[in-house]
Structure 1
């Protein structure tokens, strides 16, 4: 599968802003445009475009410094609705986890998501994240130990 990730830059940011989730998924996540804007005010956030066969097909974002639960947090993982179901999100997340593992003191990665988001639940479970019962408001947090 030809999937790669590339840091958001002047050549790919607009394509990422055009990507869309399904209507149901939109309730769980901010738009990519808001996420990209957020990186301009919070420089520890790192944003990446997901490319599938050289086409922008998704978006990722994580924090390069530790936060709650003493871990590095994944902020966004999204694949455009036209490219879902092809394994692109899982492959791109694996690539992102490789990048996150290079961070100083990276020993665990945390991601939060709404408990009703079954797609997120299945993805993180398949990648070795575990649920230790941590909750933050409406979201559950799962952890991958490196």
Structure 2
């Protein structure tokens, strides 16, 4: 389990700008079902695969690791991510990163991204971290750029590849 930034206790109805998150394996069928129920906003549906599709991909691909993103203070599942070691290029990829629509805009995405990068840098494999982003997903592109990811000019499928240089 890996933690990200925190927020003061007792402020559950206030916007969260610096939450702590835990990255936790989806250990039970109930957790996987809960993960499948998470949704992005309607205008984001074209930007990310569904969690059901991602969990199916993970079941078929031993190099994919699905994880729940949980709020550290409440334990509530606020999102989903999946990372993988690309066996061809020996580098780590963030395949999926989504925050449920009711938790967006509170800092969980940034906290999850930072926690994921920290996790991946500690794993064996290539030193770099990469991800793909749909070009029209300007919010995600801005977040990734603000966290040090750089667009490489590569396109895989319909996604721009962004890479974070080794620390």
Residues 1:92 and 2:112 aligned together: yes
CA-to-aligned-CA distance 1:26-61 (integer Å, 9 cap, x gap): 111111011112111101100110111211110000
Taking structure 1 as the reference length, the TM-score comes to 0.91
Please name the residue that 2:46 is paired with: 27
Q: Distance in 1 between matches of 2:152 and 2:158?
A: 16
Residues 25 and 48 of structure 1, relative CA distance in 2, 3 Å threshold: same
User: Does residue 119 in structure 1 map to residue 102 in structure 2?
Assistant: no
Partner of 2:66: 47
Secondary structure at the aligned position of 1:17 is classed as helix
Alignment check: 8 A CA contact 1:66 1:72 kept: no
Distance 1:95 1:41 in 2: 25
In structure 2, runs of 5+ residues without a counterpart are: 1-5, 7-19
Asked if the contact 2:150/2:163 (under 8 Å) is kept, the reply is yes
The number of equivalent residue pairs is: 145
Whole-angstrom CA distance in 2 between matches of 1:143 and 1:57 = 25
Q: Which has the larger radius of gyration?
A: 2
Shift of 1:71: 2.8
Moved runs in structure 1, 4+ residues, more than 2 A? 64-68
**Per the alignment, do residues 118 and 17 of structure 1 end up closer, same or farther by CA in structure 2, a change over 3 Å counting?**
same
Query: Do the aligned residues in 1 keep the contact of 2:23 with 2:68 (CA within 8 Å)?
Result: yes
The answer to whether the 8 A contact 1:20-1:80 is kept is yes
Higher strand residue share: 1
Is the CA contact (8 Å cut-off) linking 1:58 and 1:79 kept in structure 2?
Answer: yes
Over aligned residue pairs, what C-alpha RMSD do you find? Answer: 1.5
Structure 1 unmatched runs, 5+: none
**Normalised by the size of structure 2, how large is the TM-score?**
0.81
